[in-house]
Structure 1
Amino acid sequence: MTTGYVHGYSGREATRLGDQADTLAELLHADVRYPPGTRVLEAGCGVGAQTVHLLANNPGIELTAVDRSAESVSRARSRVAVAVPSGDVSWLCADLADLPYPAGRFDALFVCFVLEHLPDPVGVLRGLRRLVRPGGAVTVIEGDHGTAVFHPRGRYAQAVVDAQVAVQAAAGGDALIGRRLRPLLTAAGCTEVRVWPRTVYADAGRPGLMDGFTRRTFTAMMAAARADVLAAGLLSAADWRRGMTELAATAVGEGTFHYTFFVGHGSVPAAEVE
């Protein structure tokens, strides 16, 4: 499996992922609950930003966390050791399309902010779903940059967002994938599929979200795409600066920002035969 992770693997990106996970933990993990003893596979754990919340909210689970980046797995291991030292985690560095587990090995699958980076999200999700026992649970969480609505509305800021979407598409991903989460889960063979929007709205009355999401998550994500956007000739350096200045204005004063994530749940068919 190939994937172009457009956000990169820098220390700054690891910090951004942690900020994002902590800011959105209640919003995204509110209905992600597993009883003690549940064997959960977290596919694409990255630096462990979501892993710590899985463990904190679900004490007693047996978690297997996988990522293709050895550096990310190392950071995840360190993060969990500090944040949830009692967590039961097995770590693996491997390609998600080639995991060394038998069919039905797990009770549940958790995939967060991973499918957006894959050229074949249905194929990978189908393969991961086969690792979950019949009747087991599948949870997928993704965002959709097309839902970003902000004030003040600046055309250069919108151009920055559009350019980041284009760069991710050129790398084989889809920053608009949230809107097609249900058909993805269905095509991967899941049944009883349910998808809910999880909306973030930040303004002066929610200063924590203005800082944690608008500035340190979304705007920081756009900033990380600068080199790729300029190299592709999608924006000039001057227009990029104008766009980032306009985005920064949405996180101060009377600025506002809206974004929608999508949380999908499905089941593995009970009668499925591998």
Structure 2
Amino acid sequence: MRDGYVHGYAPREQQRLQDQARSLADLLHHDTAYPAGARVLEVGCGVGAQTVTLARRSPGAEITAVDISAVSLAEAERAVEAAGFGNVRFLEADLFDLPFAPESFDHVFACFVLEHLAQPAAALERFIRLVRPGGTVTVIEGDHGLICFHPESAAARAAIECQAALQRAVGGDALIGRRLYPLLRAAGLEAVRVSPRMVYVDGSRPDLAESFTRDTFTAMIEGVATQAVEAGLADAAHFAAGVRDLHRTAEPDGMFTYTFFKGVGTRPA
């Protein structure tokens, strides 16, 4: 993958991705399932956070999981092995130079991948070439512009914008969720369906406040603190205040929402 990944590959980031996947599994994947014998390509599998769910929900499918990071792939293999699934094979490769013949797969799946690419449309075109006519492409992305929380905090908003700005600086787009439908349609897919998946957390959901608000989203923002300060986007004290205020939204009297988008399209026959 020829674009930057602002979150890095440290063990804490690997753990954050696993926390995220567990907290969002039902929300994002209650309708993700592939039939027995289906050839499925997961592009940008990372540490296997989504791969485990794919393997669990489609035990008869033949899943090929690809990522450019050898470190992430090693962690993904460990995660899938620990979960006891044997229907996944892993391959280190650049998603812009995948070593597969056209129409090699029945389905392609990509979760939280396009947001990191300067050329998401070009990536989608490559994915589509690998799918047989009548096969599907599934893409899941978030949108940092659709965040609501209480108590409101200008410092927290500024910290979130720092993360979005760092992503833009390396060619990514933290607001790409809202663009899924036009991207999938422009790539040539038919019967495109996009649905919003909103995470809503309040005091009645303490487990989600911990696993998503704190360990997933706030941890992601906190993880770019050094980069944000070094890039001159914020001073350390103000950024730290924003992180504290995000943690505050996970308290019993707080609230946090974030919206993801899931898009599915079919390659024309």
User: What letter corresponds to residue 189 of structure 1 in structure 2?
Assistant: G
Counterpart residue number, 1:185: 184
What aligned pairs does 1:1-274 form with structure 2 within 5 A after superposition? 1-83=1-83, 85-270=84-269
TM-score computed with the length of structure 1 as normaliser: 0.97
Two-structure CA RMSD over aligned residues (Å) = 0.8
Q: Residues 158 and 60 of structure 1: is their aligned pair in 2 closer, same or farther, counting only changes over 3 Å?
A: same
Ranges in structure 1 where 5+ consecutive residues have no aligned partner: none
Matched residue count: 269
Q: Structure 2 CA distance, aligned partners of 1:4 and 1:148? A: 24
Q: Structure 2 CA distance, aligned partners of 1:187 and 1:5? A: 25
Q: Structure 1 CA distance, aligned partners of 2:248 and 2:21? A: 23
**Local SS of the residue matching 1:99:** coil
Query: In the TM superposition, what is the alpha-carbon distance from 1:87 to its structure 2 partner?
Result: 2.6
User: What letter corresponds to residue 92 of structure 1 in structure 2?
Assistant: L
How much identity, in percent, do the aligned residues show?
A: 56
**Local SS of the residue matching 1:22:** helix
**Local SS of the residue matching 1:144:** strand
**Local SS of the residue matching 2:252:** coil
User: What letter corresponds to residue 2 of structure 1 in structure 2?
Assistant: R
Q: Deviations over 1:198-251 (max 9, x none)?
A: 000001111111111100000000011111111111111110111111111001
Q: Structure 1 CA distance, aligned partners of 2:240 and 2:95? A: 37
Q: Structure 2 CA distance, aligned partners of 1:129 and 1:11? A: 33
Query: In the TM superposition, what is the alpha-carbon distance from 1:33 to its structure 2 partner?
Result: 1.2
Q: Is the 8 A contact 1:73 1:93 kept in 2?
A: yes
Ranges in structure 2 where 5+ consecutive residues have no aligned partner: none
User: What letter corresponds to residue 143 of structure 2 in structure 1?
Assistant: D
**Local SS of the residue matching 2:49:** coil
Q: Is the 8 A contact 1:4 1:172 kept in 2?
A: yes
Q: Structure 2 CA distance, aligned partners of 1:227 and 1:188? A: 37
**Local SS of the residue matching 1:162:** helix
**Local SS of the residue matching 1:201:** strand
Q: Structure 2 CA distance, aligned partners of 1:87 and 1:23? A: 24
Query: In the TM superposition, what is the alpha-carbon distance from 1:150 to its structure 2 partner?
Result: 0.5
Q: Is the 8 A contact 2:198 2:258 kept in 1?
A: yes
Q: Is the 8 A contact 2:194 2:262 kept in 1?
A: yes
Q: Structure 2 CA distance, aligned partners of 1:158 and 1:246? A: 9
Q: Is the 8 A contact 2:105 2:131 kept in 1?
A: yes
Q: Structure 2 CA distance, aligned partners of 1:253 and 1:62? A: 43
Runs of at least 4 residues off by over 6 Å: none
Q: Structure 2 CA distance, aligned partners of 1:242 and 1:115? A: 30
Q: Is the 8 A contact 1:60 1:87 kept in 2?
A: no
Q: Deviations over 1:121-151 (max 9, x none)?
A: 0001110111000000110000001111100
Query: In the TM superposition, what is the alpha-carbon distance from 1:253 to its structure 2 partner?
Result: 2.3
**Local SS of the residue matching 2:185:** helix
Range moving further from structure 2, 256-265 or 228-237: 228-237
Q: Deviations over 1:56-78 (max 9, x none)?
A: 01111100000000111111001
Q: Structure 2 CA distance, aligned partners of 1:208 and 1:197? A: 22
